[in-house]
Amino acid sequence: MAPPDDAPGRPARDAPAVRPGTAAAALGTQPVGRLLWHACSQTTLSVGVYGIYALTNAWFVARGVGATAVAAVNLVAPVLLGLGAVSTAVGVGGASLVSRALGAGRTERAAVAAGNAFAVFWAAALATTVGGLLLLDPLLALLGVDAATHDLARDYAVVLLAGAAVSTGFSSLVRAEGRMRFSTMLWVVPVVVQIVLDPLFIYGMHLGVRGAALGTVGGQAVSAGMSVWFFFVQRGRPYRVGLRELRPRAAVVRALFGVGAPSFLAGFGATLLTVLVNTSLSHAGGAAGGAVALAAYAVCARLQTFATMPQVGISQGLQPVVGYNAGAGLRARVGRARTLALRSTVVYSVAVAVVLVALARPLVGVFVDAPAVVDTGADALRVLAVGIAAAGVAPLVSAYFQAIGRPRPSYVISLGTLLVLKVPLVVVLGRLGVIQTWVALAAGEAAAAAVALVVLRRLVGRDAAAARQTSVVPS
């Protein structure tokens, strides 16, 4: 847990050590609307570019290797999601600690938080590489890989596991000090590299799914290299990470996971749901029907990832703004940022859902030609769009509570809705058929959004009442 003097709404004891006029200082001085627009547009551009890569990667694999290869890649996706959950957990936890420390003027504390985030992730990545390669076949069986997809999935997974150590650039830590443009470059430059490498490896060198995996790891390595330069080498920043800051400190590691654990659980939930959905679909309608449903879901998952990228961008853009101002005790700015971000994600989500429903068939047809896959994918996308309309609310509310250093509400939103709503819906409805699986996914997103709004309203109201009471001075 963060120390008491870092609590939201309480001003720091020490004079700020962040120089005026810097990107970090601007988080507490610029108009909130303009600041949030700049932050969210940069983060949305970042994740949107990655969404474009996800689509182009699927297209290269589908056209260059085949629909079975797309299904195999999607079956291995939980490996990336699981490791991504770890990097997101320590990244979000570290970003919350960094932004609040900078808001309070404590740059040394920010350096230690960033260094420990790197150390924890690298240790987890090494364990993932060693454990995953040693237990690869049992892992693939757990993911639902069958005989038709085994060899392709194995080739893809080996490369991804070998490159686990470079699978993040910690853009959340960069955003925590207001460096939005460099954070964007941590996404844009690697994605450009990946888009160049994919056709080179898949078509030029005829490496198939291994080529797609090598393109992914190659781009990630560029991002990791840029991140190491930024944190360990670049001068003129509020802090710099050295060997001393990499030494794990129990209190900091606890705070990293305390704040970031809801993000890990959300990532783990996405991994679990993907495995459950793949398992349900693989048994739907026999071998042929299962293969069609898996290929359709693989395409829809890529389209859904791209469509929800602005939701992710808004949540990520909100965090440094809220975290810094919470650390500085600027409660009104925190509330204003929260309201604007929530309105924005709802408006966008509804609009993109309408577009997906209207263009479902042509969008799926861009990736595959098989009529059965196109029909199944179009039906799936129309149902999933209902969930997409609500999908941005729960992550945004969870990100808000993490940014102000209050992980408990985030646990309710991420873990509670996963265990009580999403998983049971997929398990129960998934047994009834393919269409029911799509309905389960959409219903889970809508229910999670409702829970998040109830939690937000109650806790914000309680905080406002407490603030009014403390502001009353006895006569």
CA 139 – CA 133 distance, rounded (Å): 9
Q: Is there a contact between 213 and 156 (Cβ–Cβ < 8 Å)? A: yes
With 80 as the cut, is the pLDDT of residue 206 above it? yes
328-386 pLDDT per residue, tens: 788 889 899 999 999 999 999 999 999 999 999 999 998 888 888 899 999 999 999 99
Structure-block tokens of residue 143 = 């993911």
Letter for the amino acid at 348?
A: Y
Give how far Cα 417 sits from Cα of 52, 342, 410, 444, 461, Å.
29, 19, 10, 8, 22
pLDDT of residue 15: 37
Give how far Cα 71 sits from Cα of 66, 150, 373, Å.
9, 11, 12
CA 287 – CA 275 distance, rounded (Å): 17
pTM to 2 decimal places: 0.69
pLDDT of residue 359: 94
| Residue among 305, 388, 397, 401 nearest 342 (CA) | 397
Q: How many CA atoms lie within 13 A of 363 on its CB side?
A: 25
61-94 pLDDT per residue, tens: 888 787 788 888 878 877 777 777 778 788 888 8
| Residue among 265, 290, 272, 291 nearest 441 (CA) | 272
For tokens 């966008």, name the residue: 348
pLDDT of residue 470: 67
CA 283 – CA 295 distance, rounded (Å): 13
| Residue among 151, 162, 147, 146 nearest 79 (CA) | 162
With 80 as the cut, is the pLDDT of residue 139 above it? yes
CA 256 – CA 261 distance, rounded (Å): 8
Find the range with the poorest average confidence among 137-151, 204-218, 300-314, 433-447. 137-151
Q: What percentage of the chain exceeds 70 in pLDDT?
A: 92
With 60 as the cut, is the pLDDT of residue 12 above it? no
Q: What percentage of the chain exceeds 90 in pLDDT?
A: 26
pLDDT of residue 449: 95
DSSP letter string over 324-335? HHHHTT-HHHHH
244-294 pLDDT per residue, tens: 999 999 999 998 888 877 777 777 777 788 888 888 887 765 555 677 888
| Residue among 358, 452, 439 nearest 402 (CA) | 452
Query: Residue 276 class from Cβ within 10 Å (0-12 exposed, 13-18 middle, 19+ buried)?
Result: buried
